[in-house]
Structure 1
Amino acid sequence: MTPLSTTLLAFSMSTDAFAAAIGKGAAVDHPRFREALRTGLIFGVVEGLTPLIGWALGLGAARHIAAWDHWIVFILLLILGGRMILGGLSTPDGAGDAPAPRRQAWWLVAATAVITSIDALTVGIGLAFIEVNILLTALAIGAATTLMATLGVLLGRRLGVLVGQRAEVLGGVVLIGIGTTILVDHLGLW
C-alpha cells in the first residue's frame, strides 16, 4: 500500500468513531480537552488494535466475520443507541435541570469504541491478503482515530450546548445512524 492509500484507509476507518465521539461530547457537560483526548485515545487504541487482531485471524475466519459483521455492528449500536435515547427521554420533568455528567464512564467509552471498530477487524482480515506493513497501517488507523474522536468530542461539546438536556438522545440517534449506515452499505442498498 502507498502512503496515500494508508492515510485514506486510516481516516475512513475513523469516521464511525468520529460520529460516535460527537454524541459522547454532546452528552457530557462541557468536556475539557483532557476528557476529549482521553476519549480519543480509547477509540484510537481500540481502532488500532482491531486490524491487528483481524489480520492475525487470517483467511479462515474472514468468510464468517465478513458475512455477519454489519449485522453485529448494527445490533450492538442499536442497543447502545436505544439505551442512550431511553435514558435521555426518561429524565423526569423536574430533573431536567440536573447537570450532565462531567465525564462518561471509561467502560461505556470503551464499549462504544469496540462496537465502532468491528469493521476495522474485517479490514484487518482483508489486509492479510495483500502485502502490507500491518503495524504501520494499524498505527496510522489508531492515530487518525485518536485525532478524529478527540475532535468529535470537542465538536459534540458545542452541539451539547445547543441541544441542552436532550444531548444523550442525540448521541443515541448518532449511534443508531452509524449502525444503519453500515448495514445499508454492506447490504448494497446505496
Structure 2
Amino acid sequence: MNVSQLISEMITLVIMAFALGMDAFSVGLGMGLIRLRFRQIFYIGVVIGVFHIWMPLLGMFIGRLLSDKLGMFATYGGGILLLILGAQMIYSSFKHDDTPFIKPVGFGLLFFALSVSLDSFSVGLSLGIFGARTFLTIIVFGVVSMLLTWLGLLLGRRVQGWLGSYSEALGGSILLAFGIKLLLPF
C-alpha cells in the first residue's frame, strides 16, 4: 500500500467515524444540559468511546453469522432507546423533583452508551472481515466518538446555564428528534 492509499483510507475512516460519532455528539449535547461535573463528562466520553470500539467489533463477528436484517433492527432499537430517554428528560423537566429517572451513571450511563453505539454495531455488521485495518477502524471510531461526546457535553453544559429550567426539556427534545430520525429515515 502506498502513502496516497493510506492517506485516502485514513480520510475515509475519519469521515465514517465522524458520521457515527454525530449521534454521540447530539446525545452529549442533550445530556450536557443536565447538571454534570467535569469528572462525569470525562467518564461519559470514555464509556461512549469504548462502546464505539467494541460494538462494531461485535457487529463484525455477529455479521458473519447473521443476515443483514439485524442491522435495521439495531437502528430501530437505537431510535426507540433515544425516544425513551428524550421523553424521560422532558417529563422530568416538568416535575419539580431534580432527580432524573435515568442518570448518566452506572446502568444509566451504559444505557446511554448503548443507545448511541447501536449504529456502530450496524456498521460492524457490514464491515465483515476482521484484520489490521479493522483494528485501526475501531480505534478511530472510538476516539472520534469520545471527542465528539466531550464536545457535545461541554457545549450542553455551557448552554444549560443560559437556559435554566428549560435546558432539560431542550435536551430531551434533541434526543427525541434524533430518535425519530433513526426510526423514520429520510
Fold conserved between structures, TM > 0.5:
yes
> Which residue pairs with 2:43 in the alignment?
38
**Aligned residue for 1:144?**
144
Q: Is the 2:57–2:124 contact (alpha carbons within 8 Å) kept by the matching residues of 1?
A: yes
**1:112 equivalent in structure 2:** 112
Q: How does 1:23-172 map to 2 (within 5 A)?
A: 23-28=30-35, 31-32=37-38, 34-91=39-96, 104-128=104-128, 133-172=133-172
Instruction: Read off the aligned partner of 2:133 and give its amino acid letter.
Output: N
> Which deviates more from structure 2 when the two are superposed, residues 166-175 or residues 138-147?
166-175
Q: Give the direction of change, closer, same or farther, for the CA distance of 1:179–1:105 in structure 2 (3 Å limit).
A: same
1:4 and 2:11 equivalent? yes
Q: Deviations over 1:38-69 (max 9, x none)?
A: 11101111111100000011233242312322
Cα displacement string for residues 48-105 of structure 1 (whole angstroms, at most 9, x for unaligned residues): 11000000112332423123223212222111211111111122xxx6xx699xx842
Contact 1:24 1:171 in 2 (8 A): yes
Runs of 5+ consecutive residues of structure 1 not aligned to the other structure: none
What is the one-letter code of the residue matched to 1:5?
T
Counterpart code for 1:171 = G
Checking the alignment, whether the CA contact within 8 Å between 1:51 and 1:121 is kept in structure 2 is yes
Question: 2:115 corresponds to which letter in structure 1?
Answer: I
Q: How many residues align?
A: 177
8 A contact 1:28–1:104 mirrored in 2: no
Distance of aligned partners of 1:132 and 1:179 in 2 relative to their CA distance in 1, 3 Å threshold: farther
Match of 2:5 in 1: none
Q: Do the aligned partners of residues 99 and 59 (structure 1) sit closer, same or farther apart at CA in structure 2, a change above 3 Å counting?
A: closer
Q: Is the 8 A contact 1:62 1:126 kept in 2?
A: no
Aligned-pair identity in percent equals 28
CA distance in 1, matches of 2:131, 2:50: 23
Letter aligned with residue 128 of structure 1 = G
The runs of at least 4 consecutive aligned structure 1 residues that moved more than 3 Å come to 129-132
2:52/2:117 contact within 8 Å kept: yes
Deviations 1:146-187 (A, max 9, x none): 1110111110011101121232222211111111112222xx
User: d(CA) in 2 for partners of 1:85 and 1:132?
Assistant: 44
Root-mean-square deviation (CA), in Å?
Answer: 2.3
Name the CA distance, whole Å, in 1 between partners of 2:131 and 2:77.
28
| Aligned with 1:22 (options 26, 29, 39) | 29
